[in-house]
Amino acid sequence: MSHDQGNRRERWASAYNSRRESARERRALDTAWKITILMVGLTIVTFGALLLVFPGPGWPTILLGLIIIASEFTWANRLVDPVKRTTQRVTDSVKERTSRRQQIAIVLLLLVASVLGTVLLLAR
């Protein structure tokens, strides 16, 4: 990651945290914020559940929705933590057994498979 991207990410995170703290100071705004986060997360989880039935990345989509919800609710964080630990263990295992070139090839293969799956789904 370049220095410019790091600064941009830090500025974005700082602005987000500032707005979030400002919302926490006002009860109605805090409640609205939490409801919004919950609704966005549940929408993504629901979409992920549909992708379990239809072709698409169902489990990663459900996980993304839970991560969004976990940003505000500890109960969702408890659901996400075991997945994070398992993912970290698998990632570490893959890193130990593969070279950088193989890792790039795996990521590209997964990306191509995702794009191809999406194209085939949309072509129906």
- The predicted-structure confidence for 50-68, as pLDDT tens digits, reads as follows 888 888 888 888 888 988 8
Mean pLDDT in residue range 70-81: 85
Number of CB atoms found within 10 A of residue 45's CB: 19
Q: What is the DSSP letter of 73?
A: -
What is the domain count for the chain? 1
Instruction: Reply yes or no on whether the pLDDT at 39 is more than 90.
Output: yes
Distance separating alpha carbons of residues 31 and 80, to the nearest angstrom: 23
Residue 114's domain spans which residues? 3-123
C-alpha pair distances (Å), 51 with each of 55, 107, 122: 6, 21, 13
Q: What percent of the chain has pLDDT over 90?
A: 8
Q: What is the pTM of this model?
A: 0.58
Q: At what angle do helices 100-123 and 74-97 cross, to 10 degrees?
A: 120
Using an 8 Å Cβ cutoff, are 34 and 69 in contact? no
